[in-house]
Structure 1
Amino acid sequence: MQTNQVLLQDSITVIIAHNAISSEYKMTAQISTLGELLTSAGTQWRVYDIGRRITKIDKKQFAQIENTHVPYPYPLGNHAFIAIQFWDNQATLDPYVWFLKFPLDEQSKLIVASRDHFASMVLEALGTQLTGEEAQGKLDNNPYVYTPNANKLAAFNALMKCELKRPASQYYETVEHYFANPELQDWQNLALQGLADFAMRLEHGNNQANLMSRWTSLPEQVQSPLAAMLEHVAISTELTEFLQAQLEKQTPEHLTGSINCLRSMSGSHGLGLIAQSVDYLLDSELAEQPDVLLTVAGRGWETLTDPQRLYTFMDKAAHCTQIEGLFESIFADLVAIPMLRPHVLGLLRAQNRSETLSRAIGRLFS
């Protein structure tokens, strides 16, 4: 498969940094948040989390995050990974994007000094003229700007084109044709960006029906990257139910197939169906497979607000010995998520824990 890394071409200009520098700056008295900076520059803007799942963050919530009134809702590795899309209606039709990575404190709140440092560097380099040709390349040495991986870039590009009502990439038609014609087996001609465009356009034509008809026969080289795109999509209840049924048909030998089903449905609004699939996996022979545990933690974390499910999950993680430090890593990841933090900390006081889970929790403090 061609893994074309299309950097939001044709519709979005991306500002990406490759080096880091360190210096001290303070924001001006007139501009105290990124939201104010973007607004004062005369731009329209949107914010997305792109760490766990590409999720829009509304402006009110983002203001609360910037003012540390609330923790960042989707922390990953003690950082907030965000994409800010902005455009100047007077100057250009093409939006710009900053991919930013900011550190968080132990309560998952934004470390304001880092945000201030970034904004001050922007003001020094660009002033309030954030768009236009003169802005290009002036943030190349910014330590808070980073390059997402190819999967995230492809998914974000596809989503932005849908939201902006722009045409899909040149790779989309090949993927659409592949799914519409079951006799075609030349998956090597499919591009990652085309799969992303297809995933974001399941409601177009017969795309969803064609996906369901081909799902079980898809080679892993197509199904796995497609699952990496679908996890960012709020798929329909019908497709969620289909994927749940397919997951429960998998045998222990089909580990990748089970993971792909869970990843693909994880962005659905059918949280109950996702929870049922997590329960099924936790009650199966796959429950102590590191990849399954990591997929549940990374994609199905919303289901772990249920105390019994969380206990079962963490107990399985404690019993998994294939990767050293897996339990500690999962605990640190989940306890940082605001919606899960009280539940995860509750495990420290839980009665009648298994001996293995108790020992694993003890290692957290050794």
Structure 2
Amino acid sequence: MEFKLSGKDAGSKARAGVVTTDHGAIETPIFMPVGTVATVKGVHQRELKEDINPDIILGNTYHLYLRPKTSIIEQAGGLHKFMNWDRNILTDSGGFQVYSLSDNRKIKEEGVKFKSHIDGSYHFFTPENVMDIQRTIGADIIMAFDECTPYPCDYNYAKRSMHMTHRWLDRCIKRFNETPDKYGYEQTLFPIVQGSTYKDLRRQSAEYIANSGAQGNAIGGLSVGEPAEEMYEMTEVVCEILPEDKPRYLMGVGTPINILENIALGIDMFDCVMPTRNARNGMLFTAHGTINIKNKKWEADFSPIDEMGITDVDTYYTKAYLRHLFAANEYLGKQIATIHNLGFYLWLVREARKHILAGDFTDWKNKMVKQMDKRL
């Protein structure tokens, strides 16, 4: 994997770059649609590739390990072939999912014992077998196994957890270096900065991760309920330490405004379920604010869903029709809204890139934040 900076914004820490892997170029800043179980929910691969057009998507180790199981993915020749996706894939290590199973898991130094949400069976994740699982899944970028602490989090717990995450990272790196790439293309390991919302812990963790020498770095534990101001504060602290010549990935974030503000702090890569989850509930993100398409005000609005939208659905269907689909509980409505929201997120990060390269990102970002912070 290679990362090259293409330009920087004069008024902020925003930067534009290109990550290159064996599956192609990823222009940054980038948003990665979440394809948890080998599918971006409600979207055909054709629509994903042609309408939404991301350079990279995300899959999840925990879910893919449980279903369809890594043995099936291996027989298919890896996740790319299994889901017929020839662009980049990143896999989350499963640390966040294990964190979310707080009532059904036990964390020890060796690893995490957890209960499957599918059938109640017990499983054990260690840094070593998570590397093996991700090798078999075959993503281009794989994540180190970490513990994601909750918010709020006691300082002493956050500190113990951070140090364990660092020890787990050392074990991940050792196992990763001992195992070969499986399907004829290179895989890259990203470590994860932790430390909750404590500046000294975040600095310490960022320094440890920076010294690991990885080709890219991630920031975890900042999408677990903390106020946006604390998220930005921690991101700024960490970005001051993480190497400038390597991509920075902020995991699980967030709203369109969160994304722009974190781009301004020096983040290159994002993922979040928000555009797809909110779409299924009738919430549409646009450059001029958020639309609740279920509201009666759209019942006889025959204007396009989004005249500025980049996908076919944005001008093919009207707001009135989309509202009707939600009122009738037709799944097509959720599909249309999902395609729109993902298209908007990709448009947003690509517009951000254009303005970074043009040198006027900060002014554009401030204008966009004001516009998007509205309920239409």
Give the TM-score range, shorter chain.
Answer: 0.3 to 0.5
TM-score (norm 2): 0.33
Structure showing greater Rg: 1
TM-score (norm 1): 0.33
Looking at secondary structure, tell me which structure has more helix per residue. 1
Looking at secondary structure, tell me which structure has more strand per residue. 2
